[in-house]
Structure 1
Amino acid sequence: MLARQRQAVILEEVRRTGAVRVSDLVVRLGVSDMTVRRDLDVLASRGLVEKVYGGATAVSGRSTDEPGFEAKSVRQLAEKESIARVAAGLVRPGTAIGLSAGTTTWTVARFLDDVPDLTVVTNSIRVADVLQQSGRTDRTVVLTGGVRTPSDALVGPVAVQTLRSLHLDVVFLGVHGMTQRAGFTTPNLNESETDRALVDAASRVVVVADHTKWGTVGISTIADLDEADVLVTDDRIAEEGREVLAEHVGELLVAEATPKAPERGVGA
């Protein structure tokens, strides 16, 4: 297969699923890892895909762009894990919590295995799957129901009605973007309404968002910045963003995702 043909196959797959992995393309195309990476470099240089660790995703940027779960799951892996560790540390045994849809909240769910006696409400099929797989018998998982979005969120009147009847100790909210003017936003109008209901059900709101969300604006606002009791982000957040968020949210927690250089000894 010629390079142009390979690149066409890759581009078609990215547009169909939102993301591709180098390892999968090696098998599918029958070429080396290096060849696949060169093809991705070509496509990225033409602005047709965005390269990420281990593969590539569809190009984003518009306020209504909504990448699928698989596309988002390969972005900012280290940052999401560091954020999830800090966020999970805020969960107390015996409480009722909410987890919105998204890959960051899905990562938070994976860090909850050691917290006993939880009731977890979520509108995310992926989050519910992770929680059910933990095997804990002292955990109740409530899936709201609703219409499924590209990011595997359940949204719409059914989800909203379920959430309006609940009272949660803390809600963990994943967002598409955050700015001082627009607040916390999403590219999906229906998801915005459902997330708003989740926020309204909470005694405490914890937003989990990596540094790439700062300066990004989705079409619909979920909440203003000052509605977040806590915001957990990573240490690659822009200084401007850090200052604005610290001023507006109740508490800003910055998780360390960037490895520190080893200290040099005297005379090294």
Structure 2
Amino acid sequence: MSRFILYLIILFFSWHFSFSQNWNTPKKSLKPVEKRHAKKTNLGFGFGVTRSVVYLARNVKPDNDATGFNTSLVYGGSKLLRICLEYTRYAKIDIAPTWYNINANTIELNAQALARFRSKKAYFYPMLGVSYNTFAGTYTGINDYLNLGKLYEKNERVVASWIGINVGTGYEYYFKPGSIFLDYKMRIGLTKGTNQINIQDVCISAGLRFNLRAPSFYSIFAYKGTRSRYLLDTSDED
């Protein structure tokens, strides 16, 4: 009996000592993980050459592609997405004997989703965007296999513009201080006269891009950064 009481006394003091230790030990508070935003991102200036059918619905002959000069401005790329603003001016061509003195240009804005290779020196990116396209040429009506005579008069100077949805893919390989790129795009739009949605343009672009580091959207528009730019003698306690 006495041995049993002794065990109870030892158990009580052991439990009491353990409880007091846990009670007096300061508990570690779990701090929320702060979301980090990149303060710098990529800014690239590109120059290249584009090969395009210009306006597929008006091109009455095969192998009559136009060559153009392409310029681009790329912003972003620190994470998944970046945006690309492009302008292409095509050299004057003839699609004889139906079209002469054809001028065309395109301005477009695309979003590119970046898939990085393990070496981090190359990107593969599908793209989606919108474009504004213009096409101007003299229509003769000769050998018109598309029956465009119901839309235009013979020897008429035709000026057409259309909005396209861009779908494509690209590849970019980096080296200091720039990169080389290769893009393939299709432009989908509404065909005049038929009111049907078709592929209006298919093009391939290649060129060089020079890349710089620039402030990210977050560093430009963040609350603290904006406040410190416009208010003097402020602190976080205000």
Whose relative contact order is higher, 1 or 2, with alpha carbons under 8 Å and at least 6 apart?
2
The structure with the greater share of residues assigned to strand is 2
The structure with the greater share of residues assigned to helix is 1
TM-score normalised by length of structure 2? 0.23
TM-score normalised by length of structure 1? 0.21
